[in-house]
């Protein structure tokens, strides 16, 4: 193990540090959480000991800081993924998500007493949050 560890982020809770650690390890960067045992015993010690520190090896500092900055911007993918669903009709973004709405199932259960499945298929833009149905078929 490399002895040269550098602090790349400081968190007030163990939960936040563990999520960031998992994200870094998912990208192939070994990360370590310091002070988690002390703060786990009493969370009020977080400010006294300097918070939960997320450390990485010195040669991975720039990559780790880039990934953590994407998390703060709520951009969880380093490379954008193109979809075949086209663009949003409102803003023109290509950040489209396919959503299946099953609220009709609960309504048929209440009215008829049996679970008939009438799912509603829609698309949702992750940029402006506009939803629409695809009328191409």
Domains of the chain: 5-72 (3.30.70), 80-137 (2.20.25)
Q: Does pTM surpass 0.75? A: no
Phi/psi for 125 (5° steps) reads -85, 125
3 state SS of 121: strand
Q: Which two tokens stand for residue 67?
A: 């990934």
Q: Are 86 and 96 in contact (CB under 8 A)?
A: yes
**What's the length of the chain?**
137
Q: Tokens representing 88?
A: 């949003």
CA pair distance 132, 126, nearest whole angstrom: 12
**What residues contact 97, with CB distance under 8 A and at least 6 apart?**
123, 124, 125, 126
First to last CA, the chain: 57
Per-residue pLDDT of the chain (137 residues; tens, 9 = 90+): 446 899 999 998 889 899 999 999 988 899 999 988 888 888 787 778 888 999 999 999 999 999 898 877 766 554 555 556 678 888 888 777 777 666 666 666 666 665 555 556 778 887 788 887 776 54
């Amino acid at each position: 193990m490399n002895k040269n560890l550098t602090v790349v982020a400081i968190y007030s809770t163990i939960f936040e540090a563990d999520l960031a650690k998992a994200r870094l390890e998912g990208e192939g960067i070994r990360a370590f959480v310091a002070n988690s045992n002390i703060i786990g015993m009493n969370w009020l010690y977080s400010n006294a000991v300097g918070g939960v520190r997320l450390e990485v090896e010195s040669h991975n500092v720039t990559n780790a800081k880039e990934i953590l900055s994407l998390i703060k911007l709520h951009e969880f993918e380093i490379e954008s993924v193109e979809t075949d669903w086209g663009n949003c009709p409102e803003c023109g973004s290509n950040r489209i998500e396919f959503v299946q709405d099953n609220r009709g199932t609960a309504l048929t259960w209440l009215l008829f007493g049996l679970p008939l499945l009438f799912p509603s298929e829609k698309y949702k833009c992750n940029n402006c949050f506009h939803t629409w149905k695809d009328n191409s078929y």
